[in-house]
Structure 1
Amino acid sequence: MNWTFLILAGVFEMFGVLMINKLHQERSIKAFLLMAGGFVLSFVLLSLAMETLPMGTAYAVWTGIGASGGAILGMVFYGESRSLLRLACIALVLGSAVGLKLVSG
């Protein structure tokens, strides 16, 4: 269950980042509450995951999911560059997160 919490924490981190951009586009209480809610859920789930996972592994995987996911969402929703080099770097980050899971058990 700890890895499920960690993956969900990463997903809510991605959502929070997406809502930061939305907040910059439309200054509304709804956008602010969605952003804050995403980050709060992300931190709560990260905390639950860290009850049993090593801190370094949990933080690295959470950060990797958030960073890679944010970059991918930028490509999908905001027309950011989809260059092969950029995609390769995202794959490296995700591959590192998988590697940490494999060596952490």
Structure 2
Amino acid sequence: MGWLFLVIASFGEIFGVMSINLYIQKKTITRLLLMVLTFTGGFWFLSLAMEDIPMGTAYAVWTGLGAAGAVLMGIIFFKESAGWKRIVFLTCIIAGAAGLRVIE
């Protein structure tokens, strides 16, 4: 269950970062609450995941998947650059997170 919780926690990180961007674009209480709720959920699921997964591994995978997801969301929804170099290094982040799962 720990790895499932970790993936859910990563989505909290991804959507939390997206909600920061949305809040910066238009400062409303709804967007501020969305930001607080998504980060709170992400941290809560991270704490659940850390009951089964060592802290260093959990944190590295959480931040890696969160960063990779944020980059993908930026490309898809916020029209950020999708150059080949960016995709190569994004793949490295995902491979690193997957590698930590394999050796766990």
Same fold (TM over 0.5): yes
Number of residue pairs the alignment of both structures matches = 104
Q: Over residues 57-93 of structure 1, what are the superposed CA-to-partner deviations in whole Å (9 max), with x where a residue is unaligned?
A: 0000000011011111000111111001100101000
Q: Over residues 11-69 of structure 1, what are the superposed CA-to-partner deviations in whole Å (9 max), with x where a residue is unaligned?
A: 11100000000000111000000000000000000000001101110000000011011
Please name the residue that 1:46 is paired with.
46
Please name the residue that 1:75 is paired with.
75
Cα RMSD (Å) of the superposition? 0.5
Q: 5+ residue gaps in structure 1?
A: none
Runs (4 or more) in structure 1 with deviation over 2 Å come to none
Please name the residue that 1:20 is paired with.
20
Which amino acid letter does the alignment assign opposite residue 35 of structure 1?
Answer: M
In 2: Cα distance, 1:12 partner to 1:50 partner? 15
In 1: Cα distance, 2:29 partner to 2:48 partner? 28
What secondary structure is seen at the aligned counterpart in 2 of 1:98? helix
In 2: Cα distance, 1:16 partner to 1:78 partner? 15
Q: 5+ residue gaps in structure 2?
A: none
Q: Percent identity?
A: 44
